[in-house]
């Protein structure tokens, strides 16, 4: 009997110690949610994006964490909007103080009503659809530029940089806009069409398609039949590769092709497409290969990335997520709280000038939570490398313009 009581006492002490240890760990950490497509068709850039958040957290934890506590990441895999909703609910129930994500606009658009209703701040680091931030939400904030600016920037680049350098006048140009039919592609394309018409360009085709399609041949024949000589495409990787392969098969050779990020920024796309990628223009988040003179912290990011993943970054998505995450962690630190209203106040008061972050972005937020000091850079594929050609202070090389 004495032995039995002794065992019970020991067990009680053990349970108590375990409970105390767990509670101590809980009070010494801050949990954040990480919501990205880690599998499925969007996994390549979803994983690349989440790497930026992971590196930001690791860097902060080495420096003492956030608000004096270690940051713990609770990861969620959101393959599609339905799964984004269920995973967002799981993160909220796990008592994360904020959710970071999400790369894909459809995923962000689906997940953010869940966090807004729960009063959990959502920090969007990569999805561009304008409609994400125009719903009047109080606790949704975005560090990257949106789709409206994306489309406008593509056409402005054509108008002020590419067409003049190639000696083309507006009457010489027939624009064909092709895009995946999700929120990302649809909004970028709409902004491109509006801006092009405002500037007096002839938009002869606007053709949506499913990003899952396996055949773009009829779309390409319509472009060819309309004598399109400037193609603006908003796409992911698979549909980017498909377009180039089927355009080559149809002997369709526009004078100018401009991609709006996604697949156009990936080395894997260039490898699959081959020599036909040469000279193609691309607008996207700043690439890790920009000049570091006006991007303080870029070299630290590159060193950390290569040490952890044993390779160079696959695109600018990891850098954009890293920069955005660090800004939002800085905002929480300035708020000195994880209270949602104090975070919102700190977001709206947060200001950083351009050329003061690792990708050159500045920070300043509107009432809708959108950062108005981030922008897209202009790149071009040259000798199988994606090089930045504008803005000039970040440019690695000058553009090549075939007349």
What's the confidence (pLDDT) of residue 135?
Answer: 97
Helices (H), 226-297: 237-249, 267-273
Q: What is the pLDDT confidence band of residue 30, given thresholds at 50, 70 and 90? A: very high
Tokens of 321: 């997520």
Length reported for the chain: 403
Backbone angles phi, psi at 77, to 5 degrees: -105, 110
Tokens of 15: 């349970």
User: In sequence order, what DSSP letters do the residues of 169-207 get, joined into one string?
Assistant: -GGG-EEEEEEESSHHHHHHHHHHHHHHHHTT-EEEEEE
Three-point CA angle 334, 336, 337, nearest 5° = 125
Q: Residue ranges of the domains in the chain?
A: 29-145+294-372, 148-284+378-394
Radius of gyration of the chain measured on its C-alpha atoms: 23
Q: What is the pLDDT confidence band of residue 2, given thresholds at 50, 70 and 90? A: low
Average pLDDT, the chain: 93
Give the C-alpha separation, 105 to 120, whole Å.
Answer: 19
What's the confidence (pLDDT) of residue 286?
Answer: 97
Q: Is there a shared CATH topology between the 29-145+294-372 domain and the 148-284+378-394 domain?
A: yes
Query: Does position 12 have pLDDT exceeding 70, yes or no?
Result: no
User: What tens digit of pLDDT does each residue of 138-185 get?
Assistant: 999 999 999 999 999 999 999 999 999 999 999 999 999 999 999 999
Choose among 146, 129, 144, 233: nearest CA to 184. 129
What's the confidence (pLDDT) of residue 402?
Answer: 85
Whether domain 148-284+378-394 has CATH 3.40.50.2300: the reply is yes
Could you tell me if residue 32 is left (phi over 0), alpha (psi between -120 and 50 degrees) or otherwise beta?
beta
Backbone angles phi, psi at 29, to 5 degrees: -130, 160
Give the C-alpha separation, 69 to 63, whole Å.
Answer: 10
Decide if 262 contacts 234 (C-beta within 8 A).
Answer: yes
Of the chain, the percentage scoring pLDDT greater than 90 comes to: 90
pTM: 0.90
User: What tens digit of pLDDT does each residue of 70-102 get?
Assistant: 999 999 999 999 999 999 999 999 999 999 999
Q: What is the pLDDT confidence band of residue 16, given thresholds at 50, 70 and 90? A: very low
Query: Does position 22 have pLDDT exceeding 50, yes or no?
Result: no
What's the confidence (pLDDT) of residue 41?
Answer: 86
> Is the backbone peptide bond immediately before 24 cis, with ω within 30 degrees of 0?
no
Backbone angles phi, psi at 286, to 5 degrees: -55, 140
Burial label, 275 (beta-carbon count in 10 A; 0-12, 13-18, 19+): exposed
What's the confidence (pLDDT) of residue 261?
Answer: 76
User: In sequence order, what DSSP letters do the residues of 328-362 get, joined into one string?
Assistant: HHHHHHHHTS--HHHHHHHHHH-EE-TTSSTTS--
Tokens of 403: 């007349």
Tokens of 375: 């922008």
Q: Rounded to a whole number, what is the largest CA-CA distance in the chain?
A: 99
User: What tens digit of pLDDT does each residue of 231-266 get?
Assistant: 999 999 999 999 999 999 999 999 999 999 778 999
Choose among 100, 246, 102, 120: nearest CA to 184. 102
Q: Is the dihedral of CA 112, 115, 118, 121 positive or negative?
A: negative
Give the C-alpha separation, 220 to 214, whole Å.
Answer: 13
Give the C-alpha separation, 245 to 217, whole Å.
Answer: 10
| CA-to-CA separations, 271 to 45, 118, 299, in angstroms, rounded | 16, 44, 26
User: In sequence order, what DSSP letters do the residues of 88-149 get, joined into one string?
Assistant: HHHHHHTT-S-EEE-SSHHHHHHHHHHHHHHT--EEESS---GGGG-S--SSEEE-S--HHH
29-145+294-372 belongs to which homologous superfamily?
Answer: Response regulator (3.40.50.2300)
* Site of tokens 């400037």: 230
Neighbours of 196 (CB within 10 A): 25
Query: Does position 11 have pLDDT exceeding 80, yes or no?
Result: no
Neighbours of 116 (CB within 10 A): 19
What's the confidence (pLDDT) of residue 18?
Answer: 47
């Amino acid at each position: 009997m004495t032995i039995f009581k002794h065992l019970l006492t020991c067990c009680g002490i053990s349970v108590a110690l375990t409970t105390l240890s767990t509670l101590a760990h809980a009070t010494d950490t801050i949990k954040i949610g990480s919501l990205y497509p880690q599998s499925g068709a969007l996994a390549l850039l979803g994983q690349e994006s989440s790497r930026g958040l992971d590196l930001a957290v690791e860097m902060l934890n080495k420096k003492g964490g956030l608000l004096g506590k270690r940051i713990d990441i609770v990861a969620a895999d959101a393959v599609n909007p339905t799964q984004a909703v269920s995973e967002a609910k799981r993160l909220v129930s796990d008592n994360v103080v904020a959710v970071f994500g999400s790369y894909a606009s459809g995923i962000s658009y689906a997940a953010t009503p869940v966090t807004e209703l729960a009063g959990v701040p959502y920090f969007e680091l990569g999805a561009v659809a304008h409609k994400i931030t125009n719903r009047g939400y109080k606790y949704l904030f975005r560090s990257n530029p949106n789709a409206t600016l994306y489309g406008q920037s593509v056409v402005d680049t054509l108008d002020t940089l590419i067409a003049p350098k190639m000696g083309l006048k507006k009457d010489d140009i027939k624009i064909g806009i092709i895009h995946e039919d999700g929120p990302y592609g649809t909004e970028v394309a709409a902004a491109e069409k509006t801006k092009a018409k405002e500037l007096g360009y002839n938009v002869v085709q606007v053709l949506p398609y499913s990003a899952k399609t396996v055949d773009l041949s009829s779309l390409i024949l319509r472009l060819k039949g309309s004598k399109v000589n400037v193609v603006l495409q908003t796409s992911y990787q698979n549909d980017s590769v498909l377009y180039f392969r089927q355009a080559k098969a149809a002997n369709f050779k526009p004078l100018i092709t401009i991609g709006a990020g996604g697949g156009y920024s990936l080395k894997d796309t260039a490898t699959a497409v081959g020599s036909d990628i040469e000279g193609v223009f691309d607008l996207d988040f700043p690439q890790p290969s920009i000049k570091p003179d006006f991007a303080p912290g870029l070299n630290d990011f590159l060193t950390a990335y290569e040490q952890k993943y044993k390779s160079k970054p696959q695109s600018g998505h990891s850098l954009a997520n890293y920069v955005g995450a660090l800004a939002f962690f800085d905002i929480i630190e300035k708020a000195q709280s994880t209270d949602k209203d104090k975070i919102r106040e700190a977001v709206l008061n947060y200001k950083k000038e351009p050329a003061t972050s690792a990708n050159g972005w500045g920070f300043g937020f509107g009432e809708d939570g959108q950062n108005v000091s981030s922008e897209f850079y202009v790149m071009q594929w040259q000798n199988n490398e994606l090089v930045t050609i504008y803005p000039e202070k970040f440019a690695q090389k000058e553009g090549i313009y075939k007349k």
